[in-house]
Every structure is written in C-alpha cells, then in structure tokens.
Amino acid sequence: MTETKRKRNFLKPLIIGALAVVVTGGVGAYAYDKYEEGQRAKIQEAYSNVKMNVGNQSAQNNNNGNNNDNSNNGDNGLNSNSQNNNQPSNVQNNNNNNTQQNTQNAKSPQEIRSIVAEAISTPEQNINFIKIKPEYEDDYAMQNNGVPLYIYEVEARANGLEYDVVVDAVSGKVLKVEIDN
C-alpha cells in the first residue's frame, strides 16, 4: 500500500507540472501571435502612409531654369570635345561635370529631413533622425546615364518603427523606403 501511495505522490506533481508548461506555452504563443499581428498592422499602416517622390514637384519647379543652363553647358562641352574626336575623354569629362553639378545643386540635410518627414507622413519633430549620409550610389547609375547618383541615405525612427529612406540629393525624389520594426 505504501508503494502505490508513493506512485501517486510522484505522478501528481509531474502531471500538474506538465499541464502548467502546456498552458503557459499556449498562452505565450497566443500572446506572441497577437504581438506579431499588431506589428504587421503597424508596418502595413506605415507603408500605406508612405508618399514616394514628394519632393519631385517642388524640385522640378525650382530647377527649371537651372536645367536649361546646365544642358546648354553640357552641349557646349560635348560639341567642343566631339570636334577633337577624343571620345574616351569625352565620356570621362561629361561624367566629371555631372558629378560636380550634383554636389553643387544638392539639397541640404534640413531639406532632406522635411522630404523624409513628408514621405513617411509624420511631423518632423516626431522623428528621430539617426543617420543622414550623402554619398554616390552605383545602384542608380542606369537612371543617371551611367553616372553614379548622388543620394542621401537616411535612417530614422518614428511611430515605433525604423525607416531606411533613400532620397536623390539633387531632385529630392524619394527612391526607396524600407520599414523595420
């Protein structure tokens, strides 16, 4: 009789412990699913609020006069170089001129902040800008006649999400927005 009593005393806590683990695990999985569902909804809402190419219209209006002057200068350079029949340096000189133009006409970091704020539909004062880095990017060279494009890479946090935004430094065009949680 004492042997059966010991078995019952041993099995009872074991069964209760196993049930507790199963119930706790189920509640944890349910809570995690709810958390993930909330995060997915938050990211989806953020993507729906993203406005691509927000700075494009104002940049085009501001640069209309400048674009005419730049294209004339570029044509003059091409005509003088084509008269020399020196095509390899032709391409190199044209690329150098484009590179110099981009840095001279580039938007300021403050203008980029307002473009990003408008793109992610969040007031600028509610955004924590982690990185605003100007650089030349080869990934967009095909859109820029084979010349690396001068861009701003921006990392910002807002609304509990982290945004990675790429903006054309000259036109202000939003090229890419990625959202992480």
Tell me: pLDDT of 79 over 50. Answer: no
Domain boundaries, the chain: 1-49, 51-180
pLDDT for 84-101, tens place per residue?
444 444 444 444 444 444
Residue-level pLDDT at 6: 55
Identity at 156, one-letter amino acid code: A
CATH topology of domain 51-180: Nuclear Transport Factor 2; Chain: A, (3.10.450)
- More confident call, 51 vs 103: 51
Tell me: pLDDT of 149 over 70. Answer: yes
pLDDT for 163-178, tens place per residue?
999 999 888 999 999 9
Residue-level pLDDT at 25: 87
Tell me: pLDDT of 53 over 60. Answer: yes
In percent, the amount of the chain with pLDDT more than 90 equals 25
DSSP of 95-127: HHHHHHHHHHSPPPHHHHHHHHHHHTT--GGG-
Tokens 């010349």 -> residue: 147
Tell me: pLDDT of 73 over 50. Answer: no
